[in-house]
């Protein structure tokens, strides 16, 4: 398999073409790597990855506070060397992504404008105009990049990837939109690239001409004017002429973050379409792409057909650090699928560790392991949604005798409904994985079995996990109880009942997704949202931008700041600004949230059983909450 053939980046030989993509990292208060980083990166190397790359590491704090790990002193080399040693033990190579800063993307405080290539609006507060980096300061950053690269090389780092991507500082210098300098670092195309190419030259000087250098660059910003594709191709051509040893390209900008950071809605390998374009100007210089390449057929095809030379997997390898080994051994059904929720990225942006919705051990590789039970325990899991399935499989892995009751004729709960939508195939894959795990560990599953207290007492378990989810909310609008009125989960699970004229009450994430799904089937769909806009609930920015894009480019009719007054047999009456309108409707679907019911949990607790509740049964939340709670309550149970 070509994916696993040895290959080279410059004079660096890798055992395969699989790379852990660089992703934003979280630091401790010293802005250094730590033991959790050692464990995290080692696990991906142990999992068979050919090259392990860190997220951005900055070379200086002269012009901005470090937003991530800092490497400007010998004292920072200790943990970097530890990571390199632990990665190398498993036959992988280790690289860091090195950056001079993030410029206009920085947030210091509401009063302090960051530095950038030229005066321009701060991303987070456009009224705050960035300061222009002084010429001598640019030159000092070039020197700082060379010094940091030498520190990294001496610590055992095998390759440097220069971070010239994503609208950050180098990208601001190379961009005609942001760079309006009048000195040697601005004006012409060549001058705008000078900062980047002086950095590459400086790394060559400090690390040697044969030391491998990759560059991550923005090809174009797609739905934004920040980077025209002509400018991106010209930069790629110039990089190939130097040459650098690897060009890692990506697309997008913060205004369309879903092209920078993969969302649940995108297809596998969504950036591969641009590879042929960039190949035309880069010649024989190896290129690497990212973007949901954890989908095995897509990854294999990309390499077999020579579309790219290397594949970078980010979120997919947070979800499953052993992706490479499982593919190599033909164990693809054992791969933990990433669901594209963006929890890892969103929480990292908050300064937290990178919790993964579907892998509770990510960033806690040595802390959160399952250990065998000292004595056999009889466990009852009530509810077969993602939390219940994770709890059941984890308990069985520990050697417990596990039974799962599910009130429906199918497993998965709301996750099963979400997986019915064509752009949420990753969610469906995760559910299928969880069901396979339950079967693998011989959990006894009983469907069409809705639990009550007497049934629990008769079963007499040692430990009970209540994972029975939450109940959908129906607003008591006149006509809400008619036969053609549904809530989201039944409508998605039984789509034959959905007619041709659909009104969805509620414009949150689920309502918008459902509306786009039914519109794609050719149905006439109207979303009615009482709030001032759709998608108002907090959500990962890339997913929110992407679903809004899908709504805007669908045929869904959206009414905001609008109330629903009446549901008739074949119509719905809505009202905005005291003006009523009648909409044709043969199907009405409430997508107005859920409400947890704690009654069964409290009854079991009052009977004296060892019982916990998880997921939506605690309060309606995210898949991350359900899976983590299911795993951890079982993990710590004795």
Q: Tens of pLDDT along 170-209?
A: 999 999 999 999 999 999 999 999 999 999 999 999 999 9
Q: How far apart are CA 214 and CA 227, in angstroms?
A: 20
Q: Tens of pLDDT along 320-355?
A: 999 999 999 999 999 999 999 988 887 777 777 778
The residue out of 310, 331, 349 marking a domain boundary is 349
Q: Answer yes or no: do 299 and 425 share one domain.
A: no
Q: How confident is the model at residue 541 (pLDDT cuts 50, 70, 90)?
A: confident
Q: Is residue 261 part of a domain?
A: yes
Mean pLDDT of 224-238: 94
Percent of the chain at pLDDT exceeding 90: 91
Q: Answer yes or no: do 22 and 41 share one domain.
A: yes
Q: Is residue 90 part of a domain?
A: yes
Q: Is residue 535 part of a domain?
A: yes
pLDDT of residue 28: 67
Q: Answer yes or no: do 548 and 615 share one domain.
A: no
Q: Is residue 360 part of a domain?
A: no
Q: Answer yes or no: do 325 and 286 share one domain.
A: yes
We report the CATH number of the domain holding residue 521 as 3.50.50.60
Active-site position among 168, 254, 433, 601: 168
pLDDT of residue 431: 98
Q: Is residue 354 part of a domain?
A: no
CB atoms within 10 A of CB 156: 16
Q: How many domains does the chain have?
A: 3
Q: Answer yes or no: do 545 and 632 share one domain.
A: no
Question: Who's near 355: CB < 8 A, 6+ residues apart?
Answer: 343, 344, 347, 362, 363, 624, 628
The residue written with tokens 């752009």 in the block is 423
Q: Answer yes or no: do 623 and 586 share one domain.
A: no
We report the CATH number of the domain holding residue 450 as 3.40.50.720
Q: Tens of pLDDT along 585-634?
A: 999 999 999 999 999 999 999 999 999 999 999 999 999 999 999 999 99
Q: Tens of pLDDT along 39-93?
A: 999 999 999 999 999 999 999 999 999 888 999 999 999 999 999 999 999 999 9
Q: Answer yes or no: do 630 and 493 share one domain.
A: no
Q: Answer yes or no: do 599 and 588 share one domain.
A: no
The residue out of 303, 333, 349 marking a domain boundary is 349
Extract the runs of DSSP E, i.e. beta strands, from 406-555.
444-446, 463-466, 470-472, 485-487, 501-505, 524-528
Helix locations, 184-282, DSSP H: 189-207, 229-241, 275-282
Q: How far apart are CA 136 and CA 143, in angstroms?
A: 11
pLDDT of residue 223: 81
CA 141 to chain centre: 31
Q: How confident is the model at residue 25 (pLDDT cuts 50, 70, 90)?
A: low
Q: Answer yes or no: do 509 and 565 share one domain.
A: yes
Q: Answer yes or no: do 604 and 632 share one domain.
A: yes
Residue span of the structural domain in which 588 resides = 485-592
Q: Is residue 359 part of a domain?
A: no
DSSP 116-149: ESSS-B-SS-TTSBPEEPPHHHHHHHHHHHHHHH
pLDDT of residue 225: 85
Specify the pairing of strand 7-9 against strand 12-14: antiparallel
Question: Who's near 599: CB < 8 A, 6+ residues apart?
Answer: none
CB atoms within 10 A of CB 592: 21
pLDDT of residue 455: 98
Q: Answer yes or no: do 225 and 332 share one domain.
A: yes
Mean pLDDT of 31-35: 87
Element (H, E) at 387: helix 386-397
Mean pLDDT of 290-311: 98
Question: pLDDT at residue 27 above 60?
Answer: no
Residue 227 backbone class (left: φ over 0; alpha: ψ -120 to 50; beta: rest)? beta
Q: Which residues of 226-253 are buried (b: 16+ CB within 10 A; e: fewer)?
A: bbeeebbbebbebbbeebbbbbbbbbbb
Q: Is residue 366 part of a domain?
A: no
The two tokens of residue 330 are: 């033909």
Question: pLDDT at residue 503 above 60?
Answer: yes
- Mean of pLDDT over the chain: 95
Q: How far apart are CA 562 and CA 574, in angstroms?
A: 7
Q: Is residue 138 part of a domain?
A: yes
Verify whether residue 168 is a known catalytic residue: yes
Q: Tens of pLDDT along 413-465?
A: 999 999 999 999 999 999 999 999 999 999 999 999 999 999 999 999 999 99
Rounded alpha-carbon distances, angstroms, from residue 49 to 92, 103, 214, 276, 334: 6, 32, 18, 25, 16
Residues in the chain: 638
Q: Answer yes or no: do 341 and 207 share one domain.
A: yes
Question: pLDDT at residue 397 above 60?
Answer: yes
């Amino acid at each position: 398999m070509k994916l696993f053939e040895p290959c080279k980046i410059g004079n660096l030989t890798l055992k395969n073409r699989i790379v852990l993509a660089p992703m934003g990292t979280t630091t401790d208060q010293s802005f250094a790597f730590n033991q959790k980083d050692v464990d995290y990166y080692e696990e991906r190397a142990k999992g068979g990855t050919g090259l392990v790359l860190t997220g951005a590491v900055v070379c200086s704090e002269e012009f901005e506070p470090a937003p991530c790990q800092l490497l400007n002193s010998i004292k920072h080399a200790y943990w970097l060397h530890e990571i390199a040693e632990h990665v190398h033990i498993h036959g992988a190579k280790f690289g860091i992504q090195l950056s001079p800063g993030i410029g206009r993307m920085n947030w210091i405080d509401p009063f302090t404008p960051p530095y950038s290539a030229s005066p321009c609006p701060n991303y987070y507060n456009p009224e705050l105009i960035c300061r222009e980096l002084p010429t001598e300061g640019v030159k000092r950053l070039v020197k700082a990049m060379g010094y940091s690269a030498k520190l990294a090389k001496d610590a055992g780092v095998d390759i440097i990837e220069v971070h010239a991507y994503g609208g950050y500082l180098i990208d601001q210098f190379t961009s005609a939109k942001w760079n309006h300098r009048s000195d040697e670092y601005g004006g012409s195309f060549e001058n705008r690239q000078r900062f980047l190419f002086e950095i590459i030259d400086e790394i060559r000087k400090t690390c040697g001409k044969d030391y491998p250098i990759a560059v991550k660059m923005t090809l174009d910003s797609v739905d934004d004017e920040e980077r025209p594709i002509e400018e991106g191709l010209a930069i790629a051509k110039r990089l190939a002429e130097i040459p650098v040893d690897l060009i890692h390209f990506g697309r997008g900008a913060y205004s369309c973050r879903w092209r920078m950071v993969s969302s649940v809605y995108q297809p596998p390998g969504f950036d591969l379409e641009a590879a042929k374009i960039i190949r035309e100007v880069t010649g024989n210089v190896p290129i690497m792409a990212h973007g949901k390449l954890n989908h095995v057929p897509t990854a294999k095809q990309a390499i077999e057909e020579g579309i790219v030379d290397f594949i970078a997997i980010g979120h997919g390898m947070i979800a499953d650090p052993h992706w490479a080994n499982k593919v190599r051994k033909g164990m693809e059904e054992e791969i933990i699928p990433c669901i594209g929720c963006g929890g890892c990225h969103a929480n990292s942006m908050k300064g937290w560790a990178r919790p993964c919705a579907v892998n509770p051990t990510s960033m806690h590789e040595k802390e959160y392991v399952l250990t065998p039970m000292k004595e056999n325990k009889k466990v009852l899991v009530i509810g077969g949604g993602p939390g219940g399935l994770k709890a059941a499989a984890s308990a069985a892995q520990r050697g417990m005798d596990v039974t799962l009751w599910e009130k429906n004729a199918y497993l998965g709960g709301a996750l099963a409904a979400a997986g019915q939508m064509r752009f949420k195939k990753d969610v469906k894959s995760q559910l299928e994985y969880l069901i396979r795990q339950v079967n693998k560990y011989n959990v006894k599953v009983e469907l069409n079995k809705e639990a009550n207290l007497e049934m629990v007492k008769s079963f007499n378990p040692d430990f009970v996990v209540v994972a029975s989810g939450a109940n959908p909310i129906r607003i008591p609008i006149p006509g809400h109880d008619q036969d053609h009125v549904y809530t989201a989960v039944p409508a998605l699970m039984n789509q034959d009942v959905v007619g041709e004229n659909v009104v969805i009450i509620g414009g949150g994430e689920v309502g918008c997704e459902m509306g786009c799904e039914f519109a794609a089937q050719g149905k006439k769909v109207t979303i009615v949202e009482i709030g001032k806009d759709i998608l108002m609930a907090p959500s990962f920015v890339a997913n929110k931008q992407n679903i809004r894009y899908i709504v805007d480019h669908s045929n869904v009719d959206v009414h905001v700041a609008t109330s629903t007054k009446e549901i008739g047999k074949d119509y719905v009456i809505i009202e905005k600004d005291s003006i009523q309108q009648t909409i044709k409707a043969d199907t009405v679907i409430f997508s107005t949230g859920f409400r947890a019911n704690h009654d069964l949990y409290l009854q079991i607790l009052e009977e004296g059983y060892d019982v916990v509740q998880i997921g939506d049964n605690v309060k309606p939340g995210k898949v991350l909450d359900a899976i983590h709670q299911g795993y951890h309550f079982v993990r710590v149970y004795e």
